[in-house]
Amino acid sequence: MAGENPFTLELRDNSTRTISIRNDKLESIRELASLNLGDLQAAGVSIFPPPSAAEEEEEGYKRGLTRNDSIVSLSESNRRSFYEVQTNNLVGFVSYQGTPITICSRFAEQEGNDFFLHYLMLKTMRLSTIDLPMPVSDSESILNLLLLLFPSYLTRAVSQGVFKQYQRFHYNDYRPKGTIDVARHIKCNVPFRGKIAYNTREQSYDNPVTQLVRHTIEVIRNKPGYSSLLNLSPEVASAVRQIELATPGYVRKELVAVVNANHRPCSHPLLTEYLPLQQLCLKILRNEDEGLRFTTTDDEVYGVLFDISFLWEEYLATILEPLGIEHPRNRERQGVIYTAKDKLFANYPDFYRKTSDEPSADLVLDAKYKRYESYQPSKEDIFQLLRYMYALRAPQAMLLSPAHKDEQLRSHYELYGYGGTIDVKFLTIPQDEKDFDGFCERIAQAEANLLAEISQSNN
């Protein structure tokens, strides 16, 4: 894909890059920087997880991305004709007006694969790292990550019910109940034998939206190494089966017609999760089918973006399970801990280990996708942990951060007042592996080291 367009802006998350930008691309990048995530989402860019509305913010709530956030910021550099491009927690691929931008994790090799992003996705989706093929790290490989999102999008949509939509049906029988089709009636029923040709509009489960989902299921089923996505859990398998039963009219060769029938966003007052599923399916099918593949001329903006801080938190939840550490669904406002009675002063800790049925814990942990290997934690992050410790009566708290290097700044704080300690713990991300299998082996060892360190600190 890079060969098709000689200009590709390659960035890393939470970084600033100073670069000379061609005049014909500068305006596109400036316009993209002016758009917020709500604008990009409305234009069809897939964002995982979907950004929240800014008004949803409340005291103590870890909001994550909002629709008012932007993908990059652009400013003039001190050097003439150079510009500074600043990124945040978003990684992925976006093409705007023919200008492609790739944002890898800051742990990706400059010229190599973004093993870390792919590993986070696989672990977050609870997939075995040896089950799926590892593509090269370019825009196509990032778009391939869309496949990993399909099970969660599908189950959320089907949990609301199977999508129903009005469809036009053509009948020719003895019990007319719609509009008589005169031309078809003359063609089919002369000489007259009692049958009437007529048309009706009826709600049906077999419609363009469910057909689109069915085509996506079949693409994944037939893609080498990815069929296991359709059997991740009983919920996923059940959702797949419901879509199959709802689409008896599925015909593989009608893919292009089905995609064209979905050019308008689907809408339903109750089945709201089908809109993001529809958009995801369109992107998967366009990426997988040569006849529907993305081009820089067909779409003004397209792509897929991931909140890597969210992936980091969900990934940590998978490796902390053996220690009996709970992970409340705080981004869904579940697992709230109140500081005062009458449900006042809400707190949403990332992880904690209960000591009883009461709101108490002996350990609180907070996921921070920040560069704390070289800098002390911010005052805000420490105060946030102090609130959690007080609300849960926890004597110990930790910040969990990823690190580039083995030698990190070890931050340890002995607290005044009620006492207790706060530590910063690191997971060292492998940097020099040439293949994904080697990366997985080394990061598994880093995970074991982190768990051992947490266990020892808590004794």
Angle value at C-alpha 52, between 47 and 58, nearest 5 degrees: 150
Question: Can you tell me the distance from the alpha carbon of 289 to that of 280, in angstroms, rounded to the nearest whole number?
Answer: 14
Asked if 153 and 277 touch (Cβ cutoff 8 Å), the reply is: yes
Question: Can you tell me the distance from the alpha carbon of 136 to that of 143, in angstroms, rounded to the nearest whole number?
Answer: 11
Question: Can you tell me the distance from the alpha carbon of 205 to that of 248, in angstroms, rounded to the nearest whole number?
Answer: 10
Longest CA pairwise span in the chain (Å): 98
Asked if 47 and 37 touch (Cβ cutoff 8 Å), the reply is: yes
Question: Can you tell me the distance from the alpha carbon of 74 to that of 172, in angstroms, rounded to the nearest whole number?
Answer: 63
Question: Can you tell me the distance from the alpha carbon of 130 to that of 440, in angstroms, rounded to the nearest whole number?
Answer: 9
Q: Which helix (H) or strand (E) holds 320?
A: helix 308-320
- Roughly what angle, to the nearest 10 degrees, separates helices 115-124 and 436-457? 60
Q: Which amino acid is at 407?
A: E
Tell me the pLDDT of the chain (459 aa) as tens digits.
Answer: 334 445 678 899 999 999 888 887 888 899 999 999 988 888 878 888 888 765 545 554 555 788 889 999 999 888 878 899 999 999 988 888 888 888 999 998 755 578 899 899 888 877 765 555 555 445 556 767 888 889 989 999 999 999 988 767 676 777 777 777 778 777 888 887 778 777 777 678 889 999 999 999 999 999 887 888 898 889 999 999 999 999 998 999 999 999 999 988 888 888 888 988 998 899 888 877 655 554 444 457 778 899 999 999 999 999 999 998 988 876 666 667 887 887 788 888 899 998 877 778 899 999 999 999 888 999 999 999 999 999 899 999 999 999 987 778 888 999 998 899 999 999 999 988 888 888 999 999 999 999 999 988 766
